Amino acid sequence: MSDSSKNKIMINQNKLLIVFGGIALAVFVVIVIWWNQKKIIDINGSSLVSPSVVDKMGIITGTKCTNGDGRLFSVMMPSDPETRPLSGIAQADMVFEMPVTPGGITRMMAVFQCEQPEKIGSIRSAREDFIPLAAGLKSIYAHWGGERSALTRLNAGVLDNLDALTNKGGAFYRAAGIKAPHNGFTSYERLANASELLKYEPKNSFAGYPHDDKKPNRNLSNLVDGIDIDFDTIYDVKWTYNPESNTYSRSRGGRPEIDKNNNQTVTASVVAVVHTTWTPLAGQYINVRVSGVGALEVYQNGVIITGTWQKATAVDSKLFFYDHEGKEIKFTPGKIWVEIAAK
């Protein structure tokens, strides 16, 4: 073989080495970038898994939630028969229900984080005894006006709130074809946009609730398949356990509770019954005690857990749920309803 032929072969080999070397370097760079996105190394050398790799969890539900670090919205909703079915109620992560009159007429506060309904309502007025519950969740409180004492506290800045009477940020609207006052609605997107315009903190700061997906042993001492909440007759609530889905289906006034948005039956993984007292207010309303200590039953996995609820007097203190041994109850993952039975 001539010297010129040998030189050509060597040149071609060098070119191939350069090409393959370039490909190998490119692959290495891609791997490094991917690895750095997957893990973040802190100053101590330990690895922290990036949120883009691990799914976020809902602080209320304990289930996968793309908005797991988003701040909660607590929205006032009615129980009036004329407003049924409600829109968005089945999509709430947590719902509080309590009487607002001596006769047992109830009102609800639906809490949203993970699911973001396109329609929520109708919307109702603020009540003073719901304010500590909303504040305890570090949430943004959404309402349509309110009783005088409640508005006084809200206007004093006790917690971030969105009021449809002033409608700053345009969160609320009147739906056509529905008679007032039952035609007030909002959406998750509207609430979020209005909160941004008002410069409210968008990130969650509530500690959340502990969860455990292990099912306990069911026996005759703790087995409960139905829960009855005695409000006024047309407001009476019944929850029925479904072992196949491990959830409780809600009915009200003898009829299944349906969400108007999707025609789905309202269900919950956990139903907590909080026992407390109320005192009369001027006029036809009552004030329900939501701070202090009281008896509690928690229903989940088809069984009952007895214990106590506790909330400090600070308006933004967390509402705790303890078992009979004084340990914080770990909820089964899923939606939570808190039924406040006041006498």
Q: Helices (H) and strands (E) in the chain — how many of each? A: 4, 22
Tokens of 183: 């035609």
Residue 332's pLDDT is what? 98
Residue 24's pLDDT is what? 52
Residue 1's pLDDT is what? 53
Query: What is d(CA 141, CA 111) in angstroms, rounded to the nearest whole number?
Result: 9
Helices (H), the chain: 3-38, 131-136, 148-155, 188-197
Query: What is d(CA 292, CA 312) in angstroms, rounded to the nearest whole number?
Result: 6
Query: What is d(CA 145, CA 124) in angstroms, rounded to the nearest whole number?
Result: 8
DSSP state string for 261-296: TT-PBPEESEEEEEEE-EEE-STT-EEE--SEEEEE
pLDDT tens-place string over residues 133-146: 999 999 999 999 99
Query: What is d(CA 33, CA 27) in angstroms, rounded to the nearest whole number?
Result: 10
Nearest to residue 268, comparing CAs of 234, 238, 294, 233?
Answer: 238
So where are the chain's domains? 3-49, 55-343
Tokens of 38: 């997957």
Tokens of 211: 């969860």
Tell me which residues of the chain have a pLDDT lower than 50: 3-20, 27, 29-53
Burial tier of 196 (Cβ tally within 10 Å: 0-12, 13-18, 19+): exposed
User: What single DSSP character describes residue 156?
Assistant: T
User: Hey, what CATH topology would domain 55-343 get?
Assistant: YerB-like fold (3.50.90)
pLDDT tens-place string over residues 102-135: 888 999 999 999 999 999 999 999 999 999 999 9
Query: What is d(CA 218, CA 241) in angstroms, rounded to the nearest whole number?
Result: 13
Tokens of 233: 């007759």
The separation between the first and the last C-alpha atoms of the chain, rounded to the nearest angstrom, is 106
Residue 285's pLDDT is what? 87
CA-CA distances (angstroms) from residue 169 to 135, 152, 162?
21, 21, 8
DSSP state string for 175-210: PTTS-TTTTEEE-HHHHHHHHHHTT---B-------
Question: DSSP 3-state helix, strand, coil percentages of the chain (rounded to 5)?
Answer: 20, 35, 45
* Reported pTM: 0.84
